[in-house]
Amino acid sequence: MQNRYRLAAAIAVGSLLFSACSSPTQDAQPSGSAVEIQNSAFPARVQSCDEVLVFDEAPTKVVMLGDTSASVLAELGVLDHVTARAGVLREDAYDQETLTELIAIPTIASTELDTGGANVSTEAILATGADLVIGYDTGVDRDSLRASGVPVYSPVAMCANYSVDKASFDLVNDEVTRLASVFGVPEKGAAVVTNLNEQVANLGGETEKGSAAALYITPGSSTFYAYGSSSMVQPIFEANGLTNVYADETSRVFDASMEDLLQRNPDYIVLIYGDGNIEEAESTFATFSGVEELKAVKDGRVVAMAMPFTDPPTPTSVAGAVKLAELLQGE
């Protein structure tokens, strides 16, 4: 296998250095999440959870778990570098052109994790001739892939040590910048970031519209979850001039109760659904005891949108902010 990258891994205390095809070279660990881009596109150094990946050229045979980072790759114009994928696509998150391109990518064998993601064996990945895996550690054996010369890039939000108190669209900008560095297109990354920021600015978030709550609804369930300040729901609300009534909760998503929701009594309610569709989410919400007492229900200010438009932080989160603006206009 051609060695397309050099890997500096900071693992636990040891900060051990690995390289599958060359002798170890010590690379300093960058601070924070910013990407270090040198005068030329390569070499590119990018943080991936507890590792620093060093690319000498752009990967061209990428295996993608599910649709991890798909919207970033599409915005950067490098989705054609993905030659295999595994798991389920969240189809509601994409325009038809991007979805068609994603569906056309060959799939490889995988099993499903308890969390719903894809789990792929090292053997299946190596059989594709992969030079990069974009996914999450629970879906692959990072150590085995490293030993075989294949790096694993995980978005920051999918790392085990990920933690933020308040999410912002800066998380999206950082993710775009990191992957632009991996694929050697930093100027394109900067242009994408500028465009995304303009979309957010044009939503008029400076005009206050009132308070809101985002609730995750499972069709047919008698319980629901709420989204706190570390979810991308937070900046999505802010971009639309809404105040998250659960902003005092730093958890991304957590168990909620109708009693507490009635006390917070938001002006707007946004139903987030993963399984099912809008009608099923709305009909399930209508069965909750006490729902008719909520101000948002009385005023007809309940809207629903698919979960992919929120987390993790990607350009799809910005699309979620735009989507919510459209829903609010049509309420």
Give me the CATH number covering residue 111: 3.40.50.1980
The residues pairing with 215 across neighbouring beta strands, listed in sequence order, are 226, 271
Structural tokens at position 166: 């308040």
Are 212 and 243 contacting, i.e. CB atoms less than 8 angstroms apart?
Answer: yes
Rounded Cα distance, 279 and 272, in Å: 12
- The percentage of the chain sitting over the pLDDT mark of 70, rounded to a whole number, equals 88
Q: Between these two residues, 126 and 24, which has the higher pLDDT value?
A: 126
Query: pLDDT by residue (tens digit) across 37-68?
Result: 344 789 999 999 999 999 999 999 999 999 99
Pair 15, 152 in one domain: yes
Q: Look at residue 5 in the predicted model and tell me its pLDDT.
A: 58
Query: pLDDT by residue (tens digit) across 82-124?
Result: 999 999 888 888 999 999 999 999 999 999 988 778 999 999 9
Q: Measured between alpha carbons, how far is residue 135 from residues 33, 48, 71, 151 in Å?
A: 18, 10, 13, 11
Pair 155, 18 in one domain: yes
27 pLDDT higher than 60 = no
Structural tokens at position 266: 């938001």
Are 30 and 47 contacting, i.e. CB atoms less than 8 angstroms apart?
Answer: yes
| Alpha helices per DSSP H over 59-139 | 70-76, 96-103, 122-126
Pair 293, 207 in one domain: yes
Pair 113, 250 in one domain: no
Contacts of range 251-257, beta carbons closer than 8 Å, 24 or more positions apart: 252/227, 252/228, 252/311, 253/216, 253/225, 253/226, 253/227, 253/228, 254/225, 254/226, 254/228, 255/223, 255/225, 256/215, 256/224, 256/225, 256/226
Domain end marker among 163, 183, 210: 163
pTM here? Answer: 0.86
- The answer to whether residue 32 is domain-embedded is yes
Query: pLDDT by residue (tens digit) across 222-275?
Result: 999 999 999 999 999 999 999 999 999 999 999 999 999 999 999 999 999 987
191 pLDDT higher than 50 = yes
Q: Look at residue 10 in the predicted model and tell me its pLDDT.
A: 39
Q: How many domains does the chain have?
A: 2
Pair 228, 321 in one domain: yes
189 pLDDT higher than 50 = yes
- The answer to whether residue 191 is domain-embedded is no
- The answer to whether residue 27 is domain-embedded is yes
Task: Fill in the amino acid letter for 238.
Answer: E
- The percentage of the chain sitting over the pLDDT mark of 90, rounded to a whole number, equals 79
The label of the residue with tokens 């044009």 reads: 202
Q: Which domain holds residue 264?
A: 202-329
- The answer to whether residue 185 is domain-embedded is no
Pair 227, 131 in one domain: no
- The answer to whether residue 137 is domain-embedded is yes
- The answer to whether residue 171 is domain-embedded is no
- The answer to whether residue 281 is domain-embedded is yes
Pair 152, 239 in one domain: no
Pair 216, 287 in one domain: yes
19 pLDDT higher than 80 = no
The residues pairing with 306 across neighbouring beta strands, listed in sequence order, are 273
